[in-house]
Amino acid sequence: MPLDTKSFDLHRTLPLAPDRLWPVLTDPKEREKWNGPDADTMLVTDVANVIVGGMDRHRFGPADAPEFEVETRWYDLTKAERAVFSETLIFGGAAVCTSLVTYALDGKGTQTELGITVAVSSFSGPETLAEVAQGWEGGLDNLTAYSKSVIQQN
């Protein structure tokens, strides 16, 4: 089976300054609150080691059966400026795809312009590429809503 690849960029202006957005993007418990494509999907952190060279392990999927595994490896964590990591999605013990992800945070007063670049390689066919892109779009919609709720809590 040939390797299918795709790269895409996403941008959002979020209502949090970079130093407040940073933990929302990197803290495992914060990520569990927004990091799914829709309300029916959940992320559960089993292992978190958010340091350069560290690895996280998550379960991901429908709330009643999060059957996908995700391994995240951290390569760069420049606080409140950028994060670079890879994610490998595993289903049934086999890697489905791997993505290299870059977050770029640009502070604009009390807001942050967040740029995300995702380069994904699918080992399971081209349909996975569209699913990954849709997942990121939905996740960013959730991140936007969650960011607004963080402001209301403060």
pTM equals 0.93
Min mean pLDDT across 2-6, 46-50, 142-146 is at 2-6
Q: Are 74 and 57 in contact (CB under 8 A)?
A: no
Structure tokens at 107: 């502070």
Domain of 67 in residue numbering reads as 4-153
Torsion of CA 78, 108, 13, 60, to 10 degrees: 20
pLDDT tens by residue, 128-145:
999 999 999 999 999 999
Rounded CA separation 138/97 (Å): 18
What CATH code is carried by the domain that includes residue 24?
Answer: 3.30.530.20
Please give the C-alpha separations between residue 62 and each of 32, 38, 106, in angstroms, as whole numbers: 13, 10, 33
For the chain, the domain total comes to: 1
pLDDT tens by residue, 51-91:
999 999 999 888 888 889 999 999 999 999 999 999 999 99
